[in-house]
Structure 1
Amino acid sequence: MIEALPDDEDGNKENLLQQLDFLFNTEESTLDTNASRFISMFKTGMFLSSYSDAQLAEIDPDASAAQMSQILQQPLSKYLHPQADGTLQIDGLLLSGLMAYSTIMPDPIVPNPTPTPGPNPSTSQAVTVKYVDQQGKALAPTATLTGKLGGAYHAQAAKIDGYQVTKTPANTIGTFTTEAQTVTYVYEPQVVQNGAAATIAPKGSVIYAIKKIGLYQTPTFSTKQRLVWYAKQKRTNRPMFVVTGYAKSVNGVKRYRVKDVNHHSKTAGKTGYVTTNTDYTVRVYYAKRHVKIKVINAKGVNAYQKKNLTGKRAHYRYGQQLKVKKIVSHNLTTRFVLSNGTYVTANKKLVMTVK
């Protein structure tokens, strides 16, 4: 069924198939470990990671489908909530992909509702500060501000490695009232480079090695802690890693915590730490606009109508040069917008810039 699905420019379907091949072709002795990892990945993708095995066993597929249908048929206004500053906030349910699950367990007993407060309440309510990406996913723990009724509050943005604030809410400064308030900071990945210095790659993005590097068991590098060497490779074969987190050595040197995503290699799936030094590791996707690019993928690249690489418009062969109008971000990747308005990948293993 997966094989029959269409693939996109980034090869997401092919990557999934390769991971599944790796899972089921592995030795029986390590199957349980790999299976647990994939089950965890699938649970996260379906927003089920907070459910226990016992709770998962109680999910009723038919009831869940009926609940989903009911949600999808509701008017959008049902999920819009007025805020104190006059704006509207969309329900988080929509930002989680409209996932809903029902169980065959009896409905819980709902306690008596909280009594309606009197007309002149004298206590202030907290201000909740959220830090999310453009899809509504939390990037940092929520902060809670409290104070006296009528007192001033100042909700400040959090510093998050690899991200920058793209939307500052209007209610970052205000006063505590008798109603709960929410301040939501929206972030996007930092994709602009300042001179020769590149930003730290955001969590979830992909990097590759441009020189020989080691993968280490701990953030403090040593021969004893080295898990594997990665030799220097030509551009299209450079070893790639997904950034899963960050750490520092005992001397305070920053490291990437990564997962090896070099499919069909002996190291695929390995996890550990690599250097953040941009002389050795850089992001796989270009971070700034270039006037021209050249296709270096042997199979060529496709141009699409939309930046999520859907709506194929053209195919460009190996060696073709393309004029670029601008660069845009899409989740944790980037796309080049060509002079004709179509989108192509900005993956450095598939295209390169030319003068």
Structure 2
Amino acid sequence: MGVTITMGAGLTAFADSNSTVVGSSIKQDQTISPSSKVDGDLGYQWGNCSLNLNNGLLTIKAGQLTGTQPDGLKTLFSEGKITAIHVEKGVKLPEDSTNLFAGMTSVTAITFEKGIDTSNVTNMTAMFMNDTALTSLNLSSFNTKNVTDMTSMFMGDAALKSLNVSSFDTENVVSMKGMFAGATQLESLDLSSFDTRNAVKNIDNNESGTTYMLGMAGGEIDFLLKNLWKITLGPDTVITDPSENENLKVAGLPDAPGTAANPVSFTDSNFPGAIFQNNGSNWVETGTSVDGHNPTGTVLKSRQALKDYLAKPRSKTETLVWQQVPAPKQTITLAYIDQSGNQIANPQIFSGYPGTSYNVSNYQLVINGYAFNRVVGSLTGTYSKVPMTITFEYVNNQIGSTIPATPLTPAMPVPDTSTPTPTTPGQPVEVKYAFPFKVYAKTTVYKYRTVNFKKSQRIRKYVKQPRYKVSVFTVNKAIKNAQGRWRYKVAGGYITTNEKNIGLLYWQSGKYRKLTVINPKGVYESQSRLLAKHNRVQHLKRGTSVRVKAVVHDGMATRYVLNNGHYITGNKKFVSLKTS
């Protein structure tokens, strides 16, 4: 188990007793021996795992690891000759994995194949602590069901920007003290699968097992998650921290850094090239926002409000983000005209945040009676801050020869965040899913703990409901299991991709011409694609039918354009659509 180490006035760090503290840096003790072989098979084992080193990449072969590294390996780490680690399928981690990959200051990447065995691990204290060059870490293959201690697991990983712990089972964990403290470059964190109730109940010296889990600052210590702008919390993700005082300036998540006068720019890895602006200290629930931008939920207007929010369970998974300047998406319209400028096919409209890339190279259409002539505008580039139009010009009285895109089966999703989805009536289209997107349960479905669907792995049952009351899931990725079957990764687990059971929440096609409101609460027309309260212009009661003329895509979410120019949601819980 870990011990408490004083780190300055009123502050503590949490590490195993085999670790030492030097200033604010924690390093694993190492026995240094003469430099050993640095290329090919190393000629010795870690536990009974063979080791191979090639151009700085250490490959750990199948076998049982032990908690103690061989001296030759310690030497290679101390000399900076290992810059990446790959752990192959069949490697079994030791029951006590304390400090197992800690203090590897020259390692920028550690990857784990599916099929590694962590099922017997009970202690992950400081497992990756002080890996100061590590930039990303995906632990989705970890089985943490039997783990009881995750103290300081990622503490001091100051270069870590991306961390996947979204499948962690933490029901038996009693200490997560300082778990993410000092991972100052983390931008987002998905804790939706975390059940921290046992950790919160574990009180020692008036501190719970989640103390400083999300960082702290005071005295000469600054282990705050300063760049974390997005955090997802499950119903049982409860985090408590001690009261702040003159020595302990901040315990837990800090305020957002920006102000109205001095907004702070930040980026989102899901939208490369886009720049977003934080303009206040508050955290906000995302509400109806799918991607974390333009949040519409509850605003937490003080540090105490934030701490109170984290300290209580909630009825469902929620995501908090920094307060932000509204970030409207801009549109690209694909126009199809003849040589006289007459429209010969319905336009296609796509949207994206300014600075993100687009590629519409595959959206030249086959139009009977016309031959393609030329394109006016660039088929690839980035979304501008103003609407753009790309024109496909055709010549009369000839048959084009362009082959349209081939349709894909909706149950076989293909992630694509840059290529828009065509919506022109009557044209074959390629269905490409832009993660994240929302789906709903058509029938009774189950959420499972892993991608291998067994009754023993079921977490929750979702009973079939009328469409306006259906269960909705946000899909973060699609994953194949060992049998090659696709599963959707959602908050806290996995669901089926079978289109008989699961459907896209938003209507996608532009072929529909009539929209009918089906939700008992009705729906609002909006004067903008951003369906915020201040843009509402008219309420439509259940049973109301209106005509639509176009569809606008925001990722996999849609808005339909009415004949009066207003917008209405394409959410299937609210509307049904017909072709005439």
The TM-score normalised by the length of structure 2 is: 0.32
Larger Rg: 2
Task: Tell me which protein shows more helix as a share of its residues.
Answer: 1
